[in-house]
Structure 1
Amino acid sequence: MTSEVIRRLTPPERYQFGASVRPLLVPKHDPCGLWRDGDFWLAARTPDGPATLHLARAGGDLIATGHGPGARWITDRADAIAGLRDDLSDFLPLAMRHPLVGRLAKTFSGVRLPATGRLFPRLLRAILEQKVTGKEAHRSYRAICRHFGEPAPGPVELMLPPDPAAVAATPYWTFHPFGVEQRRTQALLRAAQVAERLERCADSPEATARMTALPGIGPWTAAETVRYAYGDPDAVSVGDFHIPNTVAWALAGEARGTDERMLELLEPFRGHRGRVCDLFALGGLGAPKFGPRMPVRSFARF
């Protein structure tokens, strides 16, 4: 018999539900989560066992319903997953240091940063997104979830995120048909082997230090992970192909930027540097494009 736990949450004024939680899902189709008819579903492996969280609007509130053995754990964390623990109290004064950032901060003041409290699923996704297009990475993610698929509890058809122990026990060549070459696969296997230790990290800095100590995991992958596992608003994706150019263009009118220049420009917003980058994305900002786009490849055919 599936257990069920219900909790009522009260979001802040102007809270934007969809824009806050949809970054937790892989675009178009995520085997482990769902946004449908204004409701949000997320499957997770919690310390208490498998669980599925359902978040739905009810007037001005959110109703959080947990299903499965981990229902209590995921419902207790529902406010963080919805972004309601995200603290913006000291951000607006920082944002007003630049007119564009200040304007975006007001426009998107209802978008909150979620924190799932589960590191490995986001690390899996971040590793797959290294040095390839989003379309390639998301295709690989779906294939891996199907391969390791276990049904999640609850009334909708979702899969649990891959079990790290099962991933760690899988030979690297198994991932090749999923479009993942040996370099990323080895990084994923190393992460899976120490996933239990990573999940016990107390905060974002500790998790970042432990992840970047692993071969194949650098600051970009760590930042992409802790931003949503811990809701870290200062996590900057150093090493990204686009973000340095976007930041340089938005903050200084420079069409191209390096990681060093990006960090220099973001320094006045320390504590919320990643949030500023997110605001640029929400606002649809981007530097002028001069070169060809990266082609979509299939490593499975190599």
Structure 2
Amino acid sequence: MTIAPAVVASGAEAVEWVPNGPYSLARTIGTLQCGPHDPSFIVQGPDHWLAFRTADGPVTLALRQRGSLNESRVQATAWGTGAACALASVPRLLGADDDWSAFDAAEFRATLPDLARKGRYLSPGLRLPSSGRMLDTVARAVLEQRVTGLEAKRAWRYLLVRYGDVAPRAGDVGPAGLRLPPTAEQWRRVPSWEWHRAGVDAQRSSTVLKAAHMATGLERLAALPGGDAVRAGLRSVSGIGVWTVAEVVQRTHGCPDSISVGDYHLAAYVGAALTGRRTDDAGMIELLKPWKGQRQRVVRSLYASGFRKPTFGPRLSPEDHRRR
């Protein structure tokens, strides 16, 4: 249930969303943050501050969960010309369309590995969010291709601080430094030397620029169900493959089945969690086959269990592209 928007202090608009069943705001939308220093997503105490653009314009959105896990509500307050549009999208953003009932059914739960059952027990309030923000999510996922998380987070922060606009002012209560991700035009204006300073190689920068040139078509994909049409639309951008598609639709459409084939760590993690031995992508797909349609939920539950795979051998080291 969502309460109709109301004008509150500082020229903001606000709504309250009441989830059905257990809910955790932090677990649900945490996947939308590109590291703890993401300028477009700042956590400040109980408040989660997001800055993004809507069809009506830019918005600063503050989210706060109140109440208990089982009887909670989320207060959403928005500033900027995109406030009303953003508030209308809050339920989907917060996972209102994500239905875990089939996953939680006794018959299905009985088929799950022990770690997945444990993870689901430890994270009952987890939902899969649907942000609908195609270009922002594509750009972030492309920056994460074939590099360490540290490199990708640094690049995202550098480019947003340099080329993203300041988020709409939230009176005197918003965090300093909140930035909007660049528009398609702003991405296209990033010069080659700035990509190098951000540590982004030519292949990834070229893919972001291609996505920016196709931004209008990409944004139309947000209105489609997260199926084959969305995947085909994303794959039409040269440089976007199956890994990037999965990373995008997990966040933009809350896809319960997409798994990141090609990830540097995921196949080994799933193999270790389910069999005690590492495996490759083909092995991971075979292991997750019994839960097709729910594979992303299974993976999220495995991570929520707290299981960590043994670490042996060399780690992927950051590369410095700035001196190339």
TM-score normalised by the chain length of structure 2: 0.88
1:195 aligns with 2:248: no
Task: Give the 4+ runs in structure 1 shifted more than 6 A.
Answer: none
Q: 1:114 aligns with which of 129, 142, 145?
A: 129
Moved more, 209-218 or 130-139: 209-218
- Which whole-Å CA distance do the structure 2 matches of 1:196 and 1:228 have between them? 19
How far residue 228 of structure 1 moved from its aligned partner, in angstroms, is 0.6
How far residue 57 of structure 1 moved from its aligned partner, in angstroms, is 2.6
- Which whole-Å CA distance do the structure 2 matches of 1:81 and 1:274 have between them? 17
Query: Which residue of structure 2 lines up, in the alignment, with residue 240 of structure 1?
Result: 263
Query: Which residue of structure 2 lines up, in the alignment, with residue 204 of structure 1?
Result: 226
- Which whole-Å CA distance do the structure 1 matches of 2:299 and 2:24 have between them? 18
How far residue 293 of structure 1 moved from its aligned partner, in angstroms, is 1.0
- Which whole-Å CA distance do the structure 1 matches of 2:76 and 2:158 have between them? 29
1:34 aligns with 2:42: yes
1:98 aligns with 2:109: no
Moved more, 226-235 or 171-180: 171-180
How far residue 276 of structure 1 moved from its aligned partner, in angstroms, is 1.3
Q: 2:200 aligns with which of 171, 180, 183?
A: 180
Cα pair distance change 1:171/1:95, threshold 3 Å:
farther
Query: Which residue of structure 2 lines up, in the alignment, with residue 8 of structure 1?
Result: 16
1:141 aligns with 2:156: yes
How far residue 171 of structure 1 moved from its aligned partner, in angstroms, is 4.2
Query: Which residue of structure 2 lines up, in the alignment, with residue 292 of structure 1?
Result: 314
Contact 1:22 1:35 in 2 (8 A): no
- Which whole-Å CA distance do the structure 1 matches of 2:308 and 2:284 have between them? 14
Identity of aligned residues (%): 36
Query: Which residue of structure 2 lines up, in the alignment, with residue 218 of structure 1?
Result: 241
- Which whole-Å CA distance do the structure 2 matches of 1:96 and 1:102 have between them? 9
Q: 2:29 aligns with which of 21, 31, 37?
A: 21
Contact 2:61 2:79 in 1 (8 A): yes
- Which whole-Å CA distance do the structure 2 matches of 1:128 and 1:23 have between them? 15
Q: Which runs of 5+ in 1 are unaligned?
A: none
Contact 2:119 2:303 in 1 (8 A): no
Contact 2:36 2:42 in 1 (8 A): no
Cα pair distance change 1:150/1:28, threshold 3 Å:
same
SS at match of 2:104: helix
Contact 2:143 2:204 in 1 (8 A): yes
Contact 1:52 1:153 in 2 (8 A): yes
SS at match of 1:200: helix
CA RMSD in angstroms comes to 1.8
Contact 1:234 1:275 in 2 (8 A): yes
- Which whole-Å CA distance do the structure 1 matches of 2:123 and 2:240 have between them? 31
Cα pair distance change 1:109/1:129, threshold 3 Å:
same
Opposite residue 122 of structure 2, the aligned amino acid is T
- Which whole-Å CA distance do the structure 1 matches of 2:215 and 2:11 have between them? 27
- Which whole-Å CA distance do the structure 2 matches of 1:188 and 1:279 have between them? 31
- Which whole-Å CA distance do the structure 1 matches of 2:314 and 2:13 have between them? 51
TM-score normalised by the chain length of structure 1: 0.94
- Which whole-Å CA distance do the structure 1 matches of 2:121 and 2:290 have between them? 18
Moved more, 105-114 or 185-194: 105-114
Query: Which residue of structure 2 lines up, in the alignment, with residue 88 of structure 1?
Result: 100
Q: Which runs of 5+ in 2 are unaligned?
A: 1-9
How far residue 173 of structure 1 moved from its aligned partner, in angstroms, is 4.0
Moved more, 281-290 or 175-184: 281-290
- Which whole-Å CA distance do the structure 1 matches of 2:169 and 2:100 have between them? 33
Encode CA deviations 1:15-72: one digit per residue, 9 max, x unaligned. 1221112221122211111111111111111111101111113333211112111111
Report how many aligned residue pairs link the two structures: 301
- Which whole-Å CA distance do the structure 1 matches of 2:32 and 2:314 have between them? 29
